[in-house]
Amino acid sequence: MFRRSLLAAPALLALPAHAQANYPERAINVVVGFLPGGSTDTGARLLAERMAPRLGPNARMIVENRPGAGGSVGAEYVTRQPADGYLLTLSTASGHATNPAALPATVRYNPVEDFTHIAVIGGGPLVVAVPRASPHRTVAELIAAARAANPPMLWGSSGVGGIGHLTGEAFAHRAGIRGEYVPYRGGAAVLEAMMKNELGFSFEVMASALPHLRDGSSRPLAVTSRARHPALPDVPSLHETGMEGFDIITWNVLQGPRGMPAPIVERLNRAAVEALAEPELRRRMVQAGIDPADPATPEQTRAFVAAELEKFRGIVRDANLQLGRT
C-alpha cells in the first residue's frame, strides 16, 4: 500500500563504544513539528509506544511538539541538537520536501544532508474535496467549471508551500486550471471555509479530512495516490480520472541529527521495523489514517527523502511557482 523505490546513504560517525552498548540510558525525545492531535502527532505517539520496549526494558520515548511553518520549525531545531540518539524527529513531506522545494529562502536546513535517516514509517494520500453544496460530482465536472470560471475559482489548503498546496498546484497545472490559491492556518480553517462554500475545492491530507468527509461536511472527488484507498473505496484516484501517473502522498520518516552512530541507527531502524510489523500497531495506524510503510533500511530511507524532494522541486518548476525567493 505504501511502496517506493529506495536506494543509498552516507557513512555515519560513532560515539564511544560504551555509549553505544548502553544505549538508551535515558529517555529519547521524538520531535513533532505540529500541534498535538494531528496525524503526525498521533503516528509518533503510536510508534513511540511500541518502539520503546524493543530498545530495552526501561526505554522511554517522549513526543515533543515544536509546531510552526509546516514542520520546518521542528526540523531546524533538530539539526542543532547532539547526534547521540536521544533526540529524534518524525518528519513529514511538508517539512522535508514541499517547504524546501517551494520556500528555499526560508528553510535553513538541507532535508537530506542535515539529518540521519532511520526508517520510513508511513503515509497516505490527499483528497480532492468540494463543499457539500457544490454541484460538481466528478473531477471532470470540477475541471470544466474551474476552466470556465471568471473570476478564477478559489481553492485552498493548509499553508503556503505545504503538501496540500503543492499537490493542488500539480493538479491545477495538469488540468489547465487558472485558479486562485487561498492558504489557511490548519485543516479546521479549510473545513470552515468549505462549509461556508467559500472555496471551489480543497486539497487536504486524508487522515485529517476523513472525519469531515464521513459526516458529509465536504465531499471527496478523488484521492491523490495512484490507486484507490481502502478508507474511501468508492472514491477514484486522479490517475483513474485521466491524470495518468498522478501519484502524490504525504509521509512520515523517522530521523535524527546528522552524524548519529551507525550501531544506534541500526538499532532504531530494527525497533521501528519490528514495531510496524505488529498487527495491532498497523490496525491503530490505519484507523488514524496512516498507511504503515513497508520495511526500509536507513540507506533506503535517505534515498526516499531525496527522491521526494526532487519530485516536489519538479512540481515547483513545472508550475512556475515563485514563493519565498530572494
Same domain (yes/no): 271, 282: yes
Residue in the block written with cell 515533543: 64
Same domain (yes/no): 56, 204: no
CATH of the domain at 39: 3.40.190.150
Residue 272 in grid coordinates: 521501528
278 in a structural domain: yes
Domain count, the chain: 2
241 in a structural domain: no
174 in a structural domain: yes
Same domain (yes/no): 197, 117: no
Say yes or no to pLDDT of 13 above 80: no
How many C-beta neighbours within 10 Å does residue 133 have? Answer: 11
- pLDDT, tens digit, 9 for 90 and up, residues 40-76: 999 999 999 999 999 998 899 999 999 988 899 999 9
Same domain (yes/no): 43, 96: yes
Residues 6+ apart with CB under 8 A from 142: 128, 130, 134, 136, 200, 201, 221
Same domain (yes/no): 129, 119: no
Residue 79 lies in domain: 17-124+250-319
Same domain (yes/no): 151, 198: yes
pLDDT grade for 186, boundaries at 50, 70 and 90: confident
207 in a structural domain: yes
Same domain (yes/no): 132, 107: no
Say yes or no to pLDDT of 247 above 70: yes
Task: Give how far Cα 267 sits from Cα of 47, 222, 310, 312, Å.
Answer: 15, 39, 29, 31
Same domain (yes/no): 111, 134: no
10 in a structural domain: no
How many C-beta neighbours within 10 Å does residue 18 have? Answer: 8
User: What value does the mean pLDDT take over residues 273-301?
Assistant: 94
Transcribe 42-88 into DSSP letters.
HHHHHHHHHHHHHH-TT--EEEEE---GGGHHHHHHHHTS-SSSSEE
